[in-house]
Amino acid sequence: MKFRAYREHGADECDRYTEVMVRLLLAAALAAAALGQQPCSPTPAYGLCEIRVEMPAGTAAQHPKPYLTAEVHAEFRSPKAKTFLMPGFWDGGRQFVIRFSPDEVGEWTYRITANFGDFSGTTHTFTANASESPGFIKPANLHHWQYTESLKAHLWMGDTCYRCASMDAVLFDKYAAARAAQKFTHVRLLVLSGEKTAFPDGESPDPAYFRELDRRVVALNQKGILADLILGNDNNRLAGLFPDWQARERYLRFLVAHYSAMNVTWQVVQEFEEYKDSKPFAREIGLALKKLDPYGHPRSSHAVTTSSSLAGDAWMNYITYQSSDDNLGAIEHLMYPGPQVNAEFGYEDSGAGKALPHHVDAETFRKRLWNATMNGQYPTYGNTGVYGGKFAPDAKYLDSPGTTYMTAWFNIMSRTRWWDLEPHFNVDGCRALALPGVEYLIYIEKPGPIDVPVEKHSYDVYWIDPATGVAAKEKKDWKGDDYIGEPPDKTHDWILHLSRDGKKEGMLKSYRFEAWGWDDLPPNQLQVIEVNPDKLPYDIEGLPPEITVEQPVNYTIKLKRETRGTRQMRYLLTGEIVRDGLGMRVLASGPSGSFKVPASILRQASGVVSIRIYGLNALGKLYQMDRVVPVKR
């Protein structure tokens, strides 16, 4: 299915919509204060509506642990006869809350049902008023994001704050204000940043913990920031906290009831590969989210490297990465539809210190940021003094060089039609994104001569400092079909923006926004991957007749012939034991090195590992070679 609109999105519009959302959410918060007297009436479209239900005192004895046994739902019917089945959540004592966000203007009806009390099935009504809310977000334009109502593109720029749910309230408020001022549009946080606090007895939640998390998610939304909710911690901890499916499903209903009416995305767990039966476990949760969340908020999972191995399970609609490997990012961008978000290409050491290899200095962070962008990925930031890893978050690290680089990134991307940009190939001395014939955004990490073939037109030429976002326009337009030049100096990395400003201005009036993504294109249909052995320009050496898990295997990839395309090659090696169903893992990248087949993907004593060697040439052509090798413990 394709969706077409004829409107355009710019930075000023983004600011205007942020202001609208603030007004709407403030109005919703005021309405929520009077819920007991006049539930949900009136509510602006995409505002928050809450209905409180009290368990009768005579029934309470039958439910000594209401979270475990009591259930309440409301079925909402829209003016256009769409229905939403919303679960309610236990809010302490005998109190339950049903939270909803109307996505149509007009009169809504709803009917409450529960396994306690006398609910006769009578219907109630409330009115949703018109608003200028852009709605929630969804995948669009193959690798990008769109708002559900405004038909505007959404620019994802995230931050990492694992302890946002549990950090000191004053610090959180400072954090949220700082990130909003720095133009962040997403914050990634752990729902269970304090597992023992959130579920003190291991069975039932602490309502006070989740009320405060509610407040913080609303506070982020009020500032125009979406909350990327990671539902479970790493190292199999969600499975340890909820060891059976009944407990996990109850937890998911509880979270959907709390947060699906807010502006959120779902990330199943932190580093899904660390879970026992990782792929089936993630699929179980992802499919349940898809079923329970009537708004269809974006779904993915955090990963050790990439969540792409979950792509075939019919629940995930965007990919997350934890990798600065440009071989991985560039190759997978050509393999999978749906937006791709790099959540950890590196954390900036903002002065708090380094605890892990991917904690890097500010300049390295900036270069990784722009290389991830050239891969076609949306970035998520983090710094060691705030994100909540080994070091306790501290407000003094909120303003760091990395945040300046992120704000500059936002401003630079806002100059472009970012929702139309895709990686541009056949370039030398640089990397590029392009909407061919309209604009080219070119990153030059190591200043020197560059060669960028373009469609022949006259272009406005801007040289931009990625550290500040300051752009200098050349006095004369450039016309041609092959831009050859050098940056203004060699003291730092540069961005070159070739833009047909007049053309882009005309496109503001009428253009097609192709709103299709994961559900419309199956994986591996972005280009026809060459698999014919006779046409593969490379071969692999060093694979043994049998592999032992966790033992290093040295390999070398050799070119069989040299062409203009093979002047630049990227390689990616993946492995999967298909029989065991635990998904693909990235083994290695580059033309030579070593890899290990992880024991976590082999269920039995032995099996067969399918090793796939991808090659990407300078012209953007993708190749695939397969090798099958016995594997044992």
CATH code for the domain in which residue 192 is found = 3.20.20.80
Query: Residue 13 pLDDT > 70, yes or no?
Result: no
Q: Which of 388, 416, 444 is at the close of a domain? A: 416
Q: Are residues 161 and 295 in the same domain?
A: yes
pLDDT at 164: 97
Last residue of a domain, one of 416, 448, 471: 416
What integer pLDDT is reported at residue 40 of this predicted model?
A: 81
How far apart CA 355 and CA 390 sit, in angstroms, is 7
Q: Which CATH number does the domain housing residue 434 bear?
A: 2.60.40
Q: Which residue has the higher pLDDT, 355 or 24?
A: 355
> In angstroms, what is the C-alpha Rg of the chain?
25
Question: CA–CA separation, 319 vs 272, rounded Å?
Answer: 13
Position 351 in a domain: yes
Q: Tally the domains of the chain.
A: 4
The phi, psi pair for 110, rounded to 5°, reads -145, 155
Q: Sign of dihedral through CA atoms 540, 542, 544, 550?
A: negative
* pLDDT confidence of residue 510: 55
Is residue 513, in this structure, part of any structural domain at all? Answer: no
Same domain, 125 and 170: no
Any domain includes 227: yes
Percent of the chain with pLDDT over 90: 86
DSSP 8-class letter at 392:
P
Residue 350 pLDDT: 86
Q: For residue 313, what pLDDT is reported?
A: 94
* Cβ(289)–Cβ(252) below 8 Å: yes
Tell which residue, 127, 128, 230, 222, has the closest CA to residue 177.
222
Residue 512 lies in a domain: no
Note whether residue 4 is domain-resident: no
The order of strands in the sheet holding 606-617 is: 547-548, 622-632, 606-617, 569-576, 585-589
Residues 180 and 210 occupy one common structural domain: yes
- pLDDT at res. 25: 44
Q: Is residue 338 part of a domain?
A: yes
Specify the amino acid at residue 29: A
556-600 pLDDT per residue, tens:
999 999 999 999 999 999 999 999 999 999 999 999 999 999 999
Same domain, 332 and 436: no
Range of the domain at 571: 533-632
- Residues 442-451 have a mean pLDDT of 97
Per-residue model confidence (pLDDT) at position 526: 76
pLDDT in tens, 488-519: 999 999 999 999 999 998 887 654 554 444 44
Average pLDDT, integer, range 111-136: 88
Distance CA 377, CA 156 (A): 10
Q: Are residues 401 and 450 in the same domain?
A: no
In angstroms, the CA 227 to CA 47 distance is: 16
Q: Are residues 366 and 217 in the same domain?
A: yes
310 and 396 co-located in one domain: yes
Task: Note whether 170 and 113 are same-domain residues.
Answer: no
What is residue 450's three-state secondary structure?
strand
Tell me: do 397 and 436 sit in the same domain.
no
Report the predicted TM-score, pTM, of the whole model to 2 decimal places.
Answer: 0.92
Q: For 369-410, what is each residue's pLDDT tens digit?
A: 999 999 999 999 999 999 999 999 999 999 999 999 999 999
Among 501, 525, 559, the domain boundary falls at 501
Determine the Cα–Cα distance for residues 248 and 260; give it in Å rounded to an integer: 17
Please give the Cα distance from 135 to 277 (Å, whole number): 36
- We report the CATH number of the domain holding residue 597 as 2.60.40.730
How high is the pLDDT of residue 5?
31
Per-residue pLDDT of 32-88, as tens digits, reads 433 333 578 789 999 999 999 999 998 999 999 999 999 999 999 999 999 999 999
Strands 431-435 and 450-464: unpaired
Task: Indicate whether 121 and 205 sit together in one domain.
Answer: no
Is 465 inside a domain boundary?
Answer: yes
Per-chain mean pLDDT for the chain: 91
CA–CA distance, 349 with 386 (Å, rounded to integer)? 10
pLDDT in tens, 517-541: 444 444 434 788 999 999 999 999 9
Whether 581 contacts 615, CB under 8 Å: no
Banded model confidence at residue 132, pLDDT cuts 50, 70, 90: confident
Task: Indicate whether 106 pLDDT > 70.
Answer: yes
pLDDT at 512: 52
pLDDT in tens, 316-333: 999 999 999 999 999 999
488 in the same domain as 424: yes
Please state whether beta strands 622-632 and 606-617 pair in parallel, antiparallel, or not at all (unpaired): antiparallel
Dump strand ranges (E) for 161-294: 186-190, 226-230, 264-267
Residue 141 is assigned to a structural domain of this protein? no
Structural tokens at position 169: 């309230």
pLDDT(357) > 80? yes
Residue 330 sits in the same domain as residue 472: no
Q: How does pLDDT run across 228-263, given as a tens digit for each residue?
A: 999 999 999 999 999 999 999 999 999 999 999 999
